[in-house]
Structure 1
Amino acid sequence: MALAGTEAWIFDLDNTLYPAHLSLWQQIDARIKAYVARLLKVTEEEAFTVQKDYYRRYGTSLRGLMIEHGMSPDDFLSYVHDIDHSPLQANPALGAAIAALPGRKFVFTSGTHSHVAAVTRRLGIENHFDGVFDIVDAGLLPKPHQETYEKFLADHGVDPSGAAMFEDLARNLEAPHRLGMKTVLVVPERTREVFREDWEFEGRDDDHVDFVTDDLTGFLVALRP
């Protein structure tokens, strides 16, 4: 078994537990752009440039807005996650694969608890997790900051040497790997059919990525003894 001895399974949410082509993240992305345009009183084109610059430099557009403009996070988080979750359909095969994993399972996201609840409910996997760690739990410090992973581990009593992290961005696996976790990059087919910046695809062949899969369910099923 490739991940023998794993006792804690940690999953990113958006574009990991469901594929990017379902476009939930694109909805969030559009609402972030609209929020930035309104907050900074700029055009949406200008807002998009700011949004993506902050996302790359700070880990989330939210953190960039807080640092650069002193913005309060509550209204932003509520607004950008108010999206249509109906493109998601129940995925009983994924649910069964997660349920069959030994040990505890977690969602670790830069989104919110309410967004996690909506996504996992639509997927039919809401009862398969032992805990959720969201951006508020992280003290609004997003991935890939190592302190955020350390806080998750401390809050949930997880030993990194017995943990596996699943993510759709390779850069978000650097800190888990340094901390001793196994790392799995999830890059579903059709990922390049949706808008993703080139840097988001960087690092998949780097040493901090232990496994790469384009089929999360199939990967988890294959772990069964």
Structure 2
Amino acid sequence: MTTITKAPRSFSHIDTWVFDLDNTLYPHHVNLWQQVDQRIGEFVGAFLGVSTAEARRIQKDYYLRYGTTMRGMMTEHGVRADDYLAYVHQIDHSPLQPNPAMGAAIAKLRGRKLILTNGSTDHAGKVLERLGLAAQFEAVFDIIAAELEPKPAPRTYQKFLRDHAVNPATSAMFEDLARNLVVPHLLGMTTVLVVPDGSTEVVREDWELEGRNAAHVDHVTDDLTGFLQGLSAKA
């Protein structure tokens, strides 16, 4: 399934392709992020000395309000980013399988390819290695490069664009959260929302699945590999 909103921006002028990492470059139903999600809850509970249920409530509240639970924990409780990231990314990456078809499709896209993630470079490296996509990307802009300010903060995108000399008017952004496409669209980027394919239950908050029909979403797809193959064929 691929749907297009009214008067979407095209890809004919794109020379830079920017991808989110988790739940974007691999299917939502892999539920790899569910492992991270559980580790975050454990960290919050242990750090604050609260019950599992209360930790879960705080975790999701901070995630919604601050962009990441980490940012909320840093702001509200003085948590050290290094401690948090080291703990929550200790997960099993083996559910991820190589995706040579996606790798070939990305390779055929003309221009630069970059990762913009709220995760860490270490986590991104492991994910890309498992997917067989590491060689396709020029660089990873992670939460440390963002000075611990996560998407959807405007200054995070601006720093990314500045650090990597990216022209938003000739760039495309692929994301699994519609709210993380608001700023890119305002900056002039062509935006693509990657959604679950509906074949398997996914673990997501309701708000995480919203925004398919938002004005700042140019394209929606539940099959990123097929979508990229289509772009490659047109190119």
TM-score, L = length of structure 1: 0.98
2:86 maps to 1:47: no
Pick aligned residue for 2:219 from 178, 195, 211: 211
| Contact 2:152 2:179 (C-alpha < 8 Å) held by counterparts | yes
Match of 2:71 in 1: 63
Where does structure 2 lack aligned partners over 5 or more consecutive residues?
A: 1-8
| 8 A contact 1:11–1:166 mirrored in 2 | yes
Gaps of 5+ in 1: none
Q: How does 1:29-178 map to 2 (within 5 A)?
A: 29-178=37-186
Q: Specify which of 198, 204, 210 is matched with residue 196 of structure 1.
A: 204
| Contact persistence 2:24–2:176 (CA under 8 A) | yes
Aligned positions, number: 225
How far off its partner does 1:71 sit? 1.1
- After TM superposition, give the deviation of residue 31 of structure 1 in Å: 0.1
**TM-superposed deviation, 1:192:** 7.1
Task: State the shift of 1:11 in Å.
Answer: 0.3
User: What RMSD over aligned residues (CA atoms) do the two structures have, in Å?
Assistant: 1.2
Residue number in structure 2 paired with 1:16:
24
- Paired residue type of 2:108: A
Separation in 1, partners of 2:152, 2:73: 17
TM-score normalized with structure 2 length:
0.94
* CA–CA distance in structure 2, aligned partners of residues 114 and 132 of structure 1: 10
Amino acid aligned to 1:78: A
Q: What is the percent sequence identity of the aligned residues?
A: 59
Aligned-partner residue type, residue 222 of structure 1: G
1:65-124 C-alpha deviation (Å, 9 max, x unpaired): 011111111011011011000000110000000111100000110000110110000000
